[in-house]
Amino acid sequence: MALGGLVGSVTAAILTESYDPRYCFLFSAIMSLFISIVAVKLNVSLEYEGQESQQEQNLGFWRDLKRNLGEVKEAFKVREFYSIIIYLIMKGVLVPSFGSFGYYFMMDVVKISKFAYSMLSVLGFCCLLVGTQLFKTYFKDYEPRTLILFDAALTFVLAPLTFALIFRLNLEYGIPDMALIVFDDAVSSILSHCLVFLPMSVIYAKICPKHIEGTAFAILSGISNFKGTISSWT
């Protein structure tokens, strides 16, 4: 994830800073086509790994859909499974995301360049590597609920830095915008990765019912992604 993000951010920085937007969309389309070609070449037998018989592999679309829906129903019988889903939905509704606001604030008020904004993404993915190592070394044995509470407390402590940037108070104290942005982004990215993202991923893996791990994990991941969309709407 980190290496792909680093390469993608650097590529985006060069394209958006130096070329017409049409070329950016053209490059994106070509890469999407390349991914589609690779996907077509994948070994189809992987789709049926773990199924008990050849007959299961030839159910047909409707019977296959019915079986998948039955697996979903089975997953929702697990208390931990639907409790996590309720948590994700509540977080999406109650905790708004200001990503779009932040982007336009950086561009229109702070006036950073597209290249500099992409470099902040590079920084974020470097911090992802650091956060992964911190989790592996120091936090993997902690209860996930403890880590999430710890992240909430640190987020509360760091919130005044964002207010200082928005109200331009940092300039009154002689702190450059970029210095404050880099510090805030780096610390926030590291903390959110090692205290929230990785612990939640471990929880997803642990609560997936046996024999339907793929279906269950896909549901949790999909709802987790949709949580971000809900937060943006909020």
Torsion of CA 59, 63, 65, 66, to 10 degrees: -140
Does the pLDDT value for residue 123 go beyond 60? yes
Query: For residue 198, what are the contacts with CB-CB under 8 A and spacing of at least 6?
Result: 131, 132, 135, 139
Determine the pLDDT at residue 19. Answer: 87
Does 137 or 71 have the greater pLDDT score?
Answer: 137
Determine the pLDDT at residue 47. Answer: 64
Q: What is the pLDDT of residues 73-119, one digit of tens each?
A: 888 888 989 999 999 999 899 988 888 888 889 989 999 888 888 88
Determine the pLDDT at residue 99. Answer: 80
What does the alpha-carbon distance between residue 218 and residue 48 come to, in Å, rounded to a whole number?
A: 16
How many CB atoms within 10 Å of residue 34?
Answer: 10
Determine the pLDDT at residue 49. Answer: 62
